[in-house]
Amino acid sequence: MFRAVFLQKSDTAVLSEVRELSEDSLPEGDVLVAVEYSTINYKDGLAITGRFPVVRQWPMVPGIDLAGTVESSANPRFKPGDKVLINGYGLGDAHWGGLAQKARVKSEWLIPVPSPFSTLNAMAIGTAGYTAMLCVLALEQHGVRPDRGPILVTGAAGGVGTIAIAVLAKLGFDVTASTGRLEEAAFLRQLGANQVIDRATLSSAGEMLGEEKWAGAIDTVGSATLANVCAATKYRGTVTACGLAQGLDFPTSVLPFILRNITLCGIDSVMAPYELRTEAWQRLARDLDVKKLDAVTQVLGLDQAIATASDVLSGKVRGRAVIDVNR
């Protein structure tokens, strides 16, 4: 038996509880992992609260991330005792996820935890940090360098935002952080932001084409914020879009694209190719200061996961909410 967050769907709501489950109930897979840590991401918050229909199969164990130790494996690539992690691949919405003490998964989803990270470090980074690095890789691929000008990070106090700031600062970028929590300004500067602005300056409907401010951006918010970011991006700049905290809409025009030749890159972390995933994790091992992870991470027990899901959706969680599933 093992403990897990367990979701069931009624006619009117999602029912969330922590309960004991039998190992026999685990879905198919060729590797059994003794999970050590998982996380609460925005998508997990939607799944646990039922606020948006992200879960595709019922019942479900949520958790789009996990890190732990291989307990048994039918694939010779992995052996008992190996430290491994997973991000995405339908974990937590189509396949039972990481908010449990056990997970049976497909071996092709597993990535060895890179040195110098522990399994706790891996989940302090998690999908949020891995997504942040995918954004950085896309900016670099499109020629955005520190000498091109400032980089904007929206939703800066959240999981993607905090890791993005830390990585960009280490790479030498001049980072502007946009947040609705200006009381976190000192914290964001500690991570590496040179300037902190109020998200209200970006979140309302604005001009279709504004003053050129940023060489690139990492946007986690969507909606009017993303539209305003594109309108203020410099000639041949690049904006990466990886979130929808403000909304699904995108009220903009073609002007920034055809007059300033900007690029808008969609960032998908769920089904990204394995080679890109491993590159992102190798770069995180090189370009993320492990010491900064403590400042962006809170570690909670499994019984706290359900309440934390609502806090994540409300924007009350600074940085990363890591769940110790054995606590």
Confidence band, pLDDT 50/70/90 cuts, at residue 296 = confident
The pLDDT score that the predictor gives to residue 206 is: 85
Query: What is the 3-state composition of the chain as percent helix, strand, coil, each rounded to the nearest 5?
Result: 35, 30, 35
pLDDT mean over 92-114: 97
Domain 2-113+290-324 falls in which CATH fold?
Quinone Oxidoreductase; Chain A, domain 1 (3.90.180)
The pLDDT score that the predictor gives to residue 117 is: 95
pLDDT above 90 for 11 = no
d(CA 139, CA 242) in angstroms, rounded, equals: 13
Cβ-proximal residues to 150 (8 Å cutoff; 6+ apart), any chain: 173, 174, 175, 176, 194, 195, 213, 214, 215
Q: What is the CB neighbour count within 10 angstroms for residue 83?
A: 18
Say yes or no: do domains 2-113+290-324 and 128-266 share a fold: no
Q: For residue 189, what are the CA distances in angstroms to 55, 95, 208?
A: 37, 38, 30
Confidence band, pLDDT 50/70/90 cuts, at residue 12 = confident
H or E element at residue 231: helix 223-231
Confidence band, pLDDT 50/70/90 cuts, at residue 189 = very high
pLDDT mean over 200-205: 93
CATH, domain range 128-266: 3.40.50.720
Domain ranges of the chain: 2-113+290-324, 128-266
